[in-house]
Amino acid sequence: QAVKLTSSRTQLPYEYYSLPFCQPTKITYKAENLGEVLRGDRIVNTPFQVSMNVEKKCEVLCNLPNKPLTLTVEQSKLMAERIREDYYVHLIADNLPVATRLEFYSNREEEEKKKEKDVQFEHGYRLGFMDGNKFYLHNHLSFILYYHREDVEESQEPTYRVVRFEVIPQSIKLEDLKADEKSICTLPESTGSAPQEIDPSKENQLLFTYSVHWEESDIKWASRWDTYLTMSDVQIHWFSIINSVVVVFFLSGILSMIIIRTLRKDIANYNKEDDIEDTMEESGWKLVHGDVFRPPQYPMILSSLLGSGIQLFCMILIVIFVAMLGMLSPSSRGALMTTACFLFMFMGVFGGFFAGRLYRTLKGHRWKKGAFCVTDLLAVGVLQVPFPTMVALLCMWFGISLPLVYLGYYFGFRKQPYDNPVRTNQIPRQIPEQRWYMNKFVGILMAGILPFGAMFIELFFIFSAIWENQFYYLFGFLFLVFIILVVSCSQISIVMVYFQLCAEDYRWWWRTFLVSGGSAFYVLIYAVFYFVNKLDIVEFIPSLLYFGYTALMVLSFWLLTGTIGFYAAYMFVRKIYAAVKID
């Protein structure tokens, strides 16, 4: 079956029959799950005839040898255009994607060079290649299928399982393919043959041919995906993880020590009963105790953003955890996306609950409107899918997400609000003039570095998985990185809020949320860097796609990290004010 045509230069997937390939008598599309549709897979049957362990030397795919396939000028133009844009064709056999073997000599010593080749695989095969200004089409495919013979009792027939699917694409000129009436062809000697040129300015005649070769392999059926997944280095991951863990724990140690020591000193000072006169002149966070829990501006928007953050947090945590246990393997196509979509809908109940409770704490009273805000924030991502899928997503949204968010919000709003340890004064206190480094933007820049540094290498692999059609499968690493991210966001946020309260600025609600999401700013800069350095996207639409999706990712990341930081800071503030005696 054919899946799609992709190119990392244009980022626009096309379906297989958008190009004039040979078609079977009846085209049937496979029914697809939500994840496959969102990934752009359109799985369809092809006219290739492949039978288990039956060799084929060379066979013409469609059209008789004396009547070759003629591409019109329009079709030739399209074909040449797709070759120029570096398109790859993706086929699957027994649910295994086809791969092209790339052998290259690794840069070792000269003597060893003759012996050792490094083998890597790339997904799919190239549609064609360019030489100067000429376009050549890969019109002959040599399929190499590897099978594993299962052990059975002597009387039974052996069972064969397909464990690898490779292709060697070739470009062979029509005149060099000698074919007879039975559609059997003979390939020319590899040295003297000319490739099949596609001239976009005129009609082109060609034949599509293929051959099938079977080889026995020791790979067991259970581990047949390993070749596809060992495409990138695992060592880099270990190195980066250990690096991140060391940095984060080192910083955690320092931060915890400083904060705990300073806090103990502060609390001891504030709680000294006997020399009250001295304490009255104290500066620091105790002075703002009457204002620290004063509700911020726009409490509804703040609680809605935090609700969406909680929803994202729960979804990401569960998806990564389940994937880490190996339940979402790449062999079940689209499973990851489908799971993520459904989980996101169902996590609305938690998002609603937390948003509702916070809204109540912030003295809000229009809970129905607040609940609608939570659901509204994420309807944005629905607008880039085919119409039937969009209808399905909207049904999920109105049928699952909306009611659940309302349910959660209702119960959260009815629950006791968070109890704040100190009362809020009637008259707000005047805020002294702040130093330059207490500026919001400086805070965002300072707070973003640590969490971003902890996950920066993993980000590279995730970007490659999204934009360069790689498989991403290192969910164990991703889970570790996620934990590190949560820890570092919380710490940074606590430190920032402590400094802010020491400077007698009690407007911390919004600021904490914005500053904790500081790493999203770095993710945005990294995305721009990745676009310029790693991708060779030149046209307008693909760039628009890239930056549109990047904006969605950065926004989600900001919601996620901002929420983590906000809740850490809120717990911290409640803890320290509960520890001092206030008359």
Average pLDDT on 458-486 reads 83
551: number of Cβ within 10 Å: 13
| 536: nearest Cα among 6, 5, 8 | 8
pLDDT value at residue 101? 84
Sequence-distant (≥ 6) Cβ neighbours of residue 21 within 8 angstroms: 2, 46, 208
* Residue 30 in tokens: 């496979």
What distance lies between CA 105 and its chain's CA centroid? 32
End-to-end CA distance of the chain: 77
Tell which residue, 83, 496, 81, 430, has the closest CA to residue 287: 430
3-state secondary structure of 185: strand
Confidence of residue 273 (pLDDT cuts 50, 70, 90): low
Residue partners of 301: CB distance under 8 A and separation at least 6 = 373
Residue 98 CB coordination number (10 Å): 25
How many H helices and E strands in the chain? 17, 17
Instruction: Please give the DSSP secondary-structure letter assigned to residue 144.
Output: E
Distance between CA atoms of residues 378 and 398, nearest Å = 12
Residue 470 has pLDDT above 80, yes or no: no
Residue 151's CB: how many other CB atoms inside 10 A?
6
Determine the Cα–Cα distance for residues 266 and 3; give it in Å rounded to an integer: 64
Instruction: Write the pLDDT tens digit of every residue in 417-449.
Output: 888 888 888 888 888 888 888 888 888 998 888
DSSP assignment letter at 67: S
Query: Residue 135 in contact with residue 128, Cβ under 8 Å?
Result: yes
Predicted structure pTM score:
0.85
Contact 527, 550 (CB under 8 A): yes
pLDDT-based confidence at 464, cuts 50/70/90? confident
453, amino acid identity: G
The helix/strand/coil state of 230 is coil
Instruction: Determine the pLDDT at residue 11.
Output: 83
How many C-alpha atoms does 212 have within 13 Å on its Cβ side?
18
Tens digit of each residue's pLDDT (9 = 90 or more) over 10-59: 888 899 999 999 888 898 988 888 888 877 788 999 999 888 888 988 88
Query: Are 557 and 520 within 8 A, CB to CB?
Result: yes
Could you tell me which of 448, 536, 464 has the C-alpha nearest to residue 84?
A: 536
Per domain, the residue ranges of the chain are: 2-106+117-228
**Reduced to 3 states, what is the DSSP secondary structure of residue 162?**
strand
Bridge partners (DSSP) listed for residue 130: 135
